[in-house]
Structure 1
Amino acid sequence: MSPTQSTIFLTAEETERIRNTFRSRLQRCKDLAGQSRFSGDSKASMRQVAAVSFIADITTAQRQDSIVAFAVGCPYPPCTLLLCDLQPIQLCDLRMDTHHRSRVLSVRRVAPVVKLVAFSWTVVQDSSGETERFEISLHKLRYGYDILESGSVFEIKEPYFTLSDEGHSTLRVDHPSDIIQSSSASEIPQEIEASSTKTTQMYKDEGNAALKNRDLPRAHANYTQGLHLVTTNGSAQEDFAYDLFRNRAHVNLALHRFDEAKTDALASLTGREDKKALDSKAYFRAGCAAHGMGEFHEARRYLQEQQRLAPYDKLAAASVKEMESRLREQATGAYNFKKIKAGLLNGRPRVDAAKFTSNVAIGESCGGRGLFAKRRMDPGEIIMVEKAFCAVWGNEAEALTAMTYDVRDDRIRVSPAGLCRAIVEKLQNNPSLVEKVMDLYSDYPGLGKQLIIRDAGPVIDTFQIHDIVARNAFATGPAYSGDHRGGDAENNNMHESTGLWITASYLNHSCVPNAKREILGDLMVLRATQPVNASEEITHSYDGSSDIEERSAALLKTWGFACSCALCIVEKAETPALRKKRQQLENEASAFVERNDVIGAKRVSIVKARRLARAIDDTYNEGYKDLPRSARQGIQDWLAEATSR
């Protein structure tokens, strides 16, 4: 685990304003809990949404740079029942700040959608004609479409009726699986209304047309409806089924739905001699899906089948060769880092590489789980290499850094909300990955790690994802060499670059770590900084500050523990005046390194650097004999390179 680097700075007044806003809302919710819903003015609601929608449209640019804030720490589980097992409820039956368990509310959107950075809202109407505000918080997109805008009829599972952050009564959805778009709305791109007049050919043609126009959700829906029609008409349309499965596999690849893409591709295999070219294409798509999931043995097997059916296809041969490279990386930990870094220079931060984790194992550590060495490793040796499960860079549209007020400890923190959103969408698209992520440590257990499928989709507890990201995400740094937008406040980018690495999340903290990480795009390389023995726990530093007060505050605020290692004990015994003097010298050394180029360093600069290093050394006493002296590290590194030249 490692901190993400904050790029938002708030004054004490702004911090207190955010805290008071959420405290006030939570108190009002508590006071109103259980009270009957008050029937509002439908026309007034429509006028409000129209006005707010207009203002929102003309202030889009301003909103993208505004500070988003929301409360956390009041989690509730998503519905785990099937839609058919829920009992209907009407708006008039709702009660304030209540989760209406075992109930379902059917509504139709009757107003434009107000699309804000962190949530969207509109006005909906039930079958009795009653209207109410309805919002989806944070996880509001599906395949690039706003969920509220992409449909008009919705089923809200176990509706939550509460107050919005602005104090308006509202229906609120936090878990994407709690809202289902009704197939009766023909304008919904994810669902295509069944028609008795349409043929399988028509669905296929309409799907192809949508694919050509890059309307992937609509293409997927047409192919799906065509396949449904094929199953009802029997084997007479077998060839249509092969074509539709193959085409839908292509769409699923584009949507990063790798689970379904692989299933569709394999379902499209005919095994017929006269269909070898099409089967070759199907194997290629199955291989791409397996590649996307990091299943390189499986990917190679499918691509070899493609090559067998199309022996003169150069792309097939190249794809097999690429998978063999991934498998070598996975087995040996030998990477072409020169090639990887060249790719970063060309602006490709998502590295095509396998993970190498055969040197490590997850085991029981003090107070939880940790990462342990399976063999001895020397300083500088690669311990593990891992590709991020999910990464979002600050310069990407998906990035969103928010302030969160946690009611559990009354603290305000920076949260990589965009990463949370991206992880939830990836899990929705690929349910087979759910248990790997949900097994990571979090303060909120949620639904546990078990995969739950309801109404043809996985049930994802978004509050559990938030806590997993808060405890396990890493800052990635710039997207590529020369790009300083990721997490660089000086470039006026308020969104930080963050990622989640599954295996690396098990690394525990030490102020005297035996490993250090380097991040190349979305690839993390962990190397030993001192000898590591077999069965020894591998640690790294969550916070690299050389000041004990800063480091202790960060560890307590972000991870909730106080460190009592040997380094912390020695530093706490020092006087504040001594620590202040060391900090001043470290700042002076940092400024020196920044001003003086190590290439062609003059003798007078080297002499000054040595003097600074000695002055920093003089602030350390005998208690530091076997402990790191991090304040001098920067100037020592500069000296080592300058004198070697």
Structure 2
Amino acid sequence: MDLKTLDGNKLIEKIKAQQEMLKSASERQGQRPQDRKSKDEMVHSFMISSMMSQIQMASQRNVIHQSFIPPAYRPSISPLAELRPIFIRDLQLEIHHRGTYLLLKAITPASRMNAVLVIAEDERDEAIMVEIYHQETEDVREATSLIGNDAVLLIKEPYFKVMASGEYGLRIDHLSDIIFVDQTNSMIPTAWRTGGNILETSAESLKLSGHKAVRRGKYWESITMYTRAIAHERATGEEIEVILRNRAFAFLKTQQYDAVLTDLGYHPGCNLKFSEKALYRTAEALYSLGRFSECLEVTRRLHIEFPNNQQAIVMLDRVQNRCSEQQAGTYKFKQLQLDAKRLSIPQLDYATYVGPLEVRNSEGKGRGLFVTKAVKAGDLLICEKAFGYAHVAENSEESSSCTLLVNTETERWFMGGHANLLRTLAQKIHKNPSLAPSFSALFHGDYEGPGTREVDGAPVVDTFLVERIASLNVFGCPPDSSLHTHQRIIQNENIEEKPYQSCGIWIKASYINHSCVGNVRRAFVGDMMIVRASRDLEADTELAFTYKKPSDETAEANKKFLKTWGFTCQCSLCQDVQDTKESVLIKRRKLLRELEKTCGAFPFQLAKFERLLKDVDKTYKQPANIVPRLGIWAPYMLLLRMYAAEKTSREVLVGVENILNSLGFVVHGVNSTSTAFEIVQWGVTQNHLVEVFLHARDAFRTLQLPDDAERATAYARLVFKIVVGENDSFESVHGI
């Protein structure tokens, strides 16, 4: 999205000014600022700023939340016992204070702007601004729930810096670098303790407080109460078992599924001698983690032990469907489309299917995805649910507020879904560290992660590793489905050049490397990516699809574009552009510009248009089935439509053949009544090819060649399946 779309050049100028200010701050590295505000001034300024921000958010449209990513730094991986305490007065600008921790108490309500903000003080009565990034959005968890009144924060190896506002403060980018210290912890100074001695309250009373919080929908508060009850020195084993089940419910509600399984004592192969509630909550957690075969086993046990449990019956049906999808790739695609259309945020309830594929080393490209057996064009290879997904509504009123993320180190800007995705991914692996390995294994360039996944029993999340993986593996996707995109394309809406703002990470699909002339094609239904073979493939063939729209003139642009991934495209198209003389390329571009002018001329000069097309065609030396002629298929499409409206069926079939040939197809029987119509070699698939084959069908019918007409219809359905991801919707779009 162009930044000017929302707020014009002033926004860009402001961002650049802030970038310069942040960069100049590095010149003060190591200083202890002498111009810090007093605690009272800091609190007053913060409260005014917070109030003004809330008013602005409520009254303005097109609000942009700006966030600047600093130069990458590693998270703290030191156990707390190895860190020494420091105080605010010890902090030095632009320094990561390794080997230390800072204990603070919140003295203002938390506020949310581009991060969760709060003013906090240390034991020496000095105050500081704290900015905590990548927390859940306000509609998921309120800032005041994250940092309550008098909350105590422990910041590991604090990073002290000049903020984008010009104030001094602490910036926390890594979710694992902050610990929210419970009031029962002995680290808390006596003067900071609130509400008397909590541990004097009985475990039963603490449990009941947890129940009350659950009834109010305050699940994080309930987790705190249940945790205190479990830790109570007089809690019995039986009480603890019950409270663990209660806490597991709260963990479910906050999407901490790993913690659910830990509290309930589940591990693969355990005896499942659980209570009814424990079995159901275990099944829910396993389902949410995508561990469907384990979920099926637990749900079956639940149904056997408690046959009257209606939730178990519903869950059993759901998980059996997921297992069928996961194991055999059997999907009700029409239902997927309905679900994507129905949901405002189309995160669908389906499993991931991976066909006969294997990740292997790919020469010059790192790792790639290979088929382990021969497949046919249209075969389903992947139907994958997004690991992380950020939806941006197409309707401008729904998407009037967005996030702008600026990486000050790489000077790359991200807006909308791409900016929101970072928070989604970081939160997911922080809450459920069992999911981190598959994500962390994705390509991340030369960035080295911390090498440690857990410290003091808590997960370590490197936000900069997450950002690097996301930026190198993200896929843009339509806000609803490729079906909707296809419908708009065939209505001649020029939308293919517009970048998608919705996006996600699909782990298995991320291993597919780029080629301008791919052999598979991706489509989307909500947050499901569908990958199908776009041509027949032999066993051990590496899969490839385009990372961006291919054209005849992409060789040099692709070199720059693919530098990010560390390889050069060696496809036939790029190789041909490199091998073609510059004078020929200049001539081709000139002819294509003339073609474009001729299209807009009135009256339309058909003979001139056909002559120019032939002249462009002559600038290609390699056969089209080796090097597709992507510059001319669209003009041929215009001709085909004219032939279909005004010419004979034979001329229509000539137009069909020209388009297919230009896209690299090898076909038999287009202009012969004695040879059956057949695709011998598939070329580059396009949305408009459905229309091409339907024109062929109509021409064959007119020529009384019903078998060829039937085959043309079948090819139209097959292309539809490849570009849309399924063909259950074919009749509703194209008729019969």
Give the TM-score, by structure 1 length.
0.83
Query: Conserved in 2, the CA contact under 8 Å of 1:284 and 1:306?
Result: yes
Task: In structure 2, give the amino acid aligned to 1:534.
Answer: A
Paired residues for 1:152-163 under 5 Å: 152-163=151-162
SS at match of 1:283: helix
**Alignment correspondent of 2:300:** 304
Q: Among 127, 130, 136, which residue is 1:134 paired with?
A: 130
Query: Conserved in 2, the CA contact under 8 Å of 1:386 and 1:523?
Result: yes
Q: Among 527, 531, 540, which residue is 2:536 paired with?
A: 531
Deviates more, 1:42-51 or 1:547-556: 547-556
Aligned equivalents of 2:130, 2:118: Cα separation in 1: 5
Q: CA deviation at 1:175?
A: 0.9
Q: CA deviation at 1:20?
A: 5.1
**Alignment correspondent of 1:600:** none
Quote the RMSD (CA, aligned, Å).
3.9
Task: In structure 2, give the amino acid aligned to 1:568.
Answer: C
Q: What fraction of aligned residue pairs are identical, expressed as a percent?
A: 25
**Alignment correspondent of 1:377:** 375
SS at match of 1:108: strand
**Alignment correspondent of 1:356:** 353
Listed as ranges, the gaps of 5+ residues in structure 2 are 186-193, 486-492, 634-685, 699-736
Deviations 1:474-499 (A, max 9, x none): 11211468999xxx999xx9992111
Q: Among 291, 294, 298, which residue is 1:295 paired with?
A: 291
SS at match of 2:165: coil
Query: Conserved in 1, the CA contact under 8 Å of 2:482 and 2:523?
Result: no
Query: Conserved in 1, the CA contact under 8 Å of 2:283 and 2:299?
Result: yes
Query: Conserved in 1, the CA contact under 8 Å of 2:159 and 2:171?
Result: yes
**Alignment correspondent of 2:682:** none
**Alignment correspondent of 2:588:** 578
**Alignment correspondent of 1:220:** 223
Q: CA deviation at 1:325?
A: 2.3
Q: Does 1:106 align with 2:116?
A: no
Deviations 1:346-398 (A, max 9, x none): 22722222222241111111241111111111111111221111212114999
SS at match of 2:199: coil
**Alignment correspondent of 2:693:** 640
Q: Among 402, 405, 409, which residue is 2:404 paired with?
A: 402
**Alignment correspondent of 1:57:** 54
**Alignment correspondent of 1:257:** 256
Give the TM-score, by structure 2 length.
0.73
Q: CA deviation at 1:67?
A: 4.0
Aligned equivalents of 1:417, 1:218: Cα separation in 2: 29
Q: Does 1:427 align with 2:429?
A: yes
Aligned equivalents of 2:594, 2:567: Cα separation in 1: 28
SS at match of 1:575: helix
**Alignment correspondent of 2:575:** 569
SS at match of 1:104: strand
SS at match of 1:36: coil
Paired residues for 1:603-622 under 5 Å: 618=617, 621-622=620-621
Deviations 1:265-310 (A, max 9, x none): 3479xx99xx99x822221111111111111111011001101111
- Higher radius of gyration, 1 or 2: 2
Q: CA deviation at 1:53?
A: 1.3
Q: Does 1:327 align with 2:333?
A: no
Q: Does 1:516 align with 2:521?
A: yes
Task: In structure 1, give the amino acid aligned to 2:388.
Answer: C
Q: CA deviation at 1:14?
A: 5.8
Q: CA deviation at 1:12?
A: 7.7
**Alpha-carbon distance change, 564 to 69 in structure 1, aligned in 2, over 3 angstroms:** farther
Aligned equivalents of 1:447, 1:311: Cα separation in 2: 48
Task: In structure 2, give the amino acid aligned to 1:227.
Answer: I
Q: CA deviation at 1:338?
A: 2.0
**Alpha-carbon distance change, 129 to 483 in structure 1, aligned in 2, over 3 angstroms:** farther
Paired residues for 1:68-217 under 5 Å: 68-72=65-69, 74-116=71-113, 118-139=114-135, 144-146=141-143, 149-150=147-148, 152-184=151-183, 195-217=198-220
Task: In structure 1, give the amino acid aligned to 2:375.
Answer: M
Deviations 1:382-432 (A, max 9, x none): 112211112121149999542424534x55455712111011111111111
Q: CA deviation at 1:21?
A: 3.4
Aligned equivalents of 1:583, 1:182: Cα separation in 2: 67
Aligned equivalents of 1:619, 1:155: Cα separation in 2: 71
Aligned equivalents of 1:258, 1:85: Cα separation in 2: 30
**Alpha-carbon distance change, 535 to 288 in structure 1, aligned in 2, over 3 angstroms:** same
Deviations 1:113-164 (A, max 9, x none): 4421x22333222211222222223446696132764353211111111111
Q: CA deviation at 1:223?
A: 1.7
Aligned equivalents of 2:303, 2:595: Cα separation in 1: 63
Query: Conserved in 1, the CA contact under 8 Å of 2:447 and 2:468?
Result: no
SS at match of 1:537: coil
**Alpha-carbon distance change, 258 to 194 in structure 1, aligned in 2, over 3 angstroms:** farther
Listed as ranges, the gaps of 5+ residues in structure 1 are 1-5, 592-604
**Alignment correspondent of 1:341:** 337
**Alignment correspondent of 2:649:** none
Q: Paired residues, what number?
A: 603
Paired residues for 1:382-397 under 5 Å: 382-395=380-393
Task: In structure 2, give the amino acid aligned to 1:163.
Answer: V
**Alignment correspondent of 2:459:** 458
Q: Among 276, 280, 286, which residue is 2:282 paired with?
A: 286
**Alignment correspondent of 1:468:** 469
SS at match of 1:364: strand
SS at match of 1:281: helix
Deviates more, 1:412-421 or 1:141-150: 141-150
